């Protein structure tokens, strides 16, 4: 059972009291042995003089180191979830969107091989993606297959949304929101074959939104794997959805 606020405060007061009594006893022992009250006052005053420096050291250095470690651990947890998303549904979505993108060769030229990742950073990725239109043209059979895929993965994505770690990752949350919206739009159309051209155009607009955010998060995640987990990056490159020759099979040089 979780302790109440009053119980927690009582525990803290007991700790303070124990420490104060321990300090008083040690000072009394010092006086009994050396009989030098002046030295005791000098010693305690010296400790008090160094107390602000100790607090400053603990606050600025130790706290910063602990915060950096906590941030790194939190980032790892978030990227594990992002990796699970791409393994389960994101890579398959990206593969399909790329097939419907008439200008996808631009993305393949920049992200479709092993070579560029060592030179890319978040800023250069944003610059490259800012020059692409991400226009997708999806016919009715394609929308039907996309609807079936999203329905299969809905439970997984719902569980992903329940994880509080992702709420702090604004860009990935935007991606999930766009993917969920596309899935919801498709789910409300049981007979896509009879939907009018205007509705197909609307669905393509929703797909474009999801596609744009998907490529951005995928590229940033690939860059993260390149720097932090080379063995995971190796598989990600061998299954790169923008590489037409990609194969998970490791071939001899």
Q: Domain ranges in the chain? A: 5-66, 76-238
pLDDT for position 248: 86
State the Cα angle at 134 between 194 and 102, rounded to 5°: 75
pLDDT for position 215: 96
Higher pLDDT, 55 or 220: 220
pLDDT score of 1 more than 60: no
pLDDT for position 3: 61
> Which pTM value belongs to this model?
0.73
The dihedral through the CA atoms of 229, 235, 239, 240 has a sign that is: positive
pLDDT for position 66: 66
Residue 48: pLDDT band with limits 50, 70, 90:
confident
Q: Which residues pair with 101 in a beta bridge?
A: 136
pLDDT score of 212 more than 70: yes
Higher pLDDT, 152 or 45: 152
Residue 118: pLDDT band with limits 50, 70, 90:
confident
CB 199 within 8 A of CB 207: no
Mean pLDDT score of the chain = 85
């Amino acid at each position: 059972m979780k302790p109440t606020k009053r119980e927690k405060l009582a525990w803290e007061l007991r700790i303070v009291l124990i420490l104060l009594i321990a300090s008083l006893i040690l000072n009394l022992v010092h006086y009994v042995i050396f009989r030098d009250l002046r030295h005791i006052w000098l010693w305690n005053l010296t400790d008090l003089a160094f107390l602000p420096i100790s607090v400053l050291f603990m606050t600025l250095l130790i706290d910063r180191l602990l915060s950096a470690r906590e941030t790194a651990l939190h980032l790892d947890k978030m990227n594990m979830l992002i990796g699970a998303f791409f393994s389960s549904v994101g890579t398959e979505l990206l593969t399909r969107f790329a097939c419907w993108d008439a200008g996808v060769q631009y993305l393949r030229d920049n992200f479709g091989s092993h070579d560029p990742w060592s030179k890319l950073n978040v800023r250069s990725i944003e610059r490259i993606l800012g020059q692409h239109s991400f226009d997708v043209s999806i016919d009715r059979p394609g929308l039907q297959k996309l609807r079936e895929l999203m329905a299969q993965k809905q439970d997984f994505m719902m569980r992903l949304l329940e994880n509080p770690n992702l709420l702090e990752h604004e860009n990935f949350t935007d991606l999930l929101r766009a993917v969920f919206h596309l899935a919801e739009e498709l789910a409300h159309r049981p007979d896509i074959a009879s939907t009018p051209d205007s509705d197909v155009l609307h669905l393509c607009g929703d797909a474009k939104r999801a596609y744009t955010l998907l490529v951005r998060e995928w590229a940033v995640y690939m860059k993260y794997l390149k720097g932090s987990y080379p063995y995971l990056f190796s598989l990600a490159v061998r299954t790169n959805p923008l590489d037409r020759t990609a194969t998970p099979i490791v071939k001899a040089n």
